[in-house]
Structure 1
Amino acid sequence: MLTATRQAKILDSLRTEGEVSVELLAGRFGVSASTIRRDLNALSADGLLRRVRGGGNVEPDRVPFSDVERVRSAEKELVASRAAALVEDGDVILIDIGTTTALLARHLRGRRLTVVTSSLAVIDQLRDDDEVELIVLGGAVRKNYHSMVGVLTEQALAQIRASVCFLGTSGIRSDGTIADTTGMEVPVKKAMIESSNRVVVLADSSKFPGVGLLNVCGPDRYSTVVTNDDADPATLDVLRSAGVEVLTT
């Protein structure tokens, strides 16, 4: 596993579990404790986690959006660019929360589109664009991850019919299940899926398997995955066998 991929997975583990030990991470990733300590030191130096004796620690679900943006940014940019090519002028598209979906929004600037979103990061990318009609879903603001969630968001989605939904994820399991780490986000993602004719999942290669204890949907509920060339080949084969279109960058 590449160092950058392992470090991204370590951050995902910290977001999910709050605190993990060096020994647990070493066993999970099949590397030495000294390798994990170097990873933790590097991530700490970048301000992405806080070290404690014996491991790394962050408050669950408190890694700032701006910090997550910096992790695997080149890989996310490739995924976003490839996904933007799937959009046709005149489309009504739903864009999920996340750092990769925010990059997608940037690639859509100047296009004649209707964009529906609960992502404050997507809104920031598109709110001054004269070509894009921007529809903002209401709800409670989840400040640390620049999104809106809750019953109001889900009710608004019930009134929408989108050409395509671009969905983010915390991880794609070996059976193709899309997973998430935050309970309040899962109902919103499910409502987005129900409101769309086509669902495209954006997942850089570190999301295979990534993290997430909460099921969003199986491969029968999405049509396309956009990822990097080094994504887990076994999982990609499972997706193709399930009829999912796999696009790599």
Structure 2
Amino acid sequence: MLKMKRIQQIKEYILKNQSVSLDDLVETFDVSKNTIRRDVQKLVNEGHIQKVYGGVAANHAKLEAFQDRQIRNQAQKRLIAREAASWVKDGDVIFIDSGTTTLELIHFIHNKQVTVVTNNVDFIVQAMPYKQLQVISTGGQLERKTKSFSNYSIAEELNLYNFDKVFMASTGVSISNGVTNSSPVETTMKELVVKKGRDVFLLVDHTKFDKYAMVTYCGLDEIDYLITDDPLNTQYVNFIEQNNIKLFVATDKE
């Protein structure tokens, strides 16, 4: 087995099982313990896993403050948002999820005649000057870390809407764990929005792949459009093709 392929399979195996011993990896992949140690160290250096007593464990994506996430990879996030915004047409009813990448949509749709339903507090504030944007807040409890509204009893209200397009964010994405989120209170709303969207867009930069957070709100196969900033590996490309997902890698065209 080629080294890079083996390391990729080891990573997926650890992500799936959450934590494993080195002996388990040696037996599963039929290589020496020294080889496993080198492969594991590479994954640790890349931030995918962490060493624990007696073995290794997957790195869980943690809920960070909105301001901390906003400044990371901001240029890439804006490119992703620009590509996503190109799909928004006048007259659309859309949902914009809480997130630092989805927030960037405001820069590219503010001149369009659309109805926006959102739990994204910063989007609501930044939309104030643009009268052509009809903005509807989901309401509920203010989550300060994510600058979003959450609401356990949102189901009845969301069922009133038929979204032309929904633009979703994620803390971590993987084939085995799907599209995940660090805030359990937001999960019910996200699940409903995905089901109510005619076209579901997932906006994630390259740092979100092969990571997962506390709660899965939809499978990766439930996404219609995946927009990111870096080419994906063969495993993801094959999965995307098999599930008829449209993939777009946003680049600086100007």
TM bin, normalised by shorter chain, reads 0.7 to 0.9
* Partners of 2:113 and 2:132 within 8 A in 1: yes
Q: How does 1:157-176 map to 2 (within 5 A)?
A: 157-175=158-176
Matches within 5 A, 1:1-249: 27=41, 29-31=43-45, 61=63, 63-175=64-176, 177-249=178-250
In structure 2, relative to structure 1, the CA distance for the partners of 1:155 and 1:27 (3 Å cut) is: farther
What is the total number of aligned residue pairs between the two structures? Answer: 198
Q: Secondary structure at 1:86's aligned position in 2? A: coil
Q: CA separation of 1:136/1:28 partners in 2, compared to 1, >3 Å: closer, same or farther?
A: farther
8 Å CA contact 2:184, 2:214 repeated in 1: no
Instruction: Give the number of the structure whose alpha-carbon radius of gyration is greater.
Output: 2
What corresponds to 1:52 in structure 2?
none
Partner secondary structure for residue 212 of structure 2: coil
Question: Cα offset for 1:32?
Answer: 9.3
* Structure 1: unaligned runs, 5 residues or longer: 1-25, 37-59
For 1:246, give the aligned amino acid.
L
Counterpart contact for 2:175–2:220, Cα < 8 Å? no
**Structure 2, unpaired ranges of 5+:** 1-39, 51-61
- What is the rounded CA distance, in whole Å, between the counterparts of 2:112 and 2:177 in structure 1? 32
Q: Percent identity?
A: 23
1: distance between equivalents of 2:231 and 2:222?
24
What is the CA distance between 1:117 and its match in structure 2?
Answer: 0.4
Secondary structure at 2:166's aligned position in 1? Answer: strand
CA distance in 1: counterparts of 2:235 and 2:71, whole angstroms: 28
* CA distance in 2: counterparts of 1:171 and 1:236, whole angstroms: 17
TM-score (norm 2): 0.72
Distance in 1, Cα, partners of 2:42 & 2:143? 30
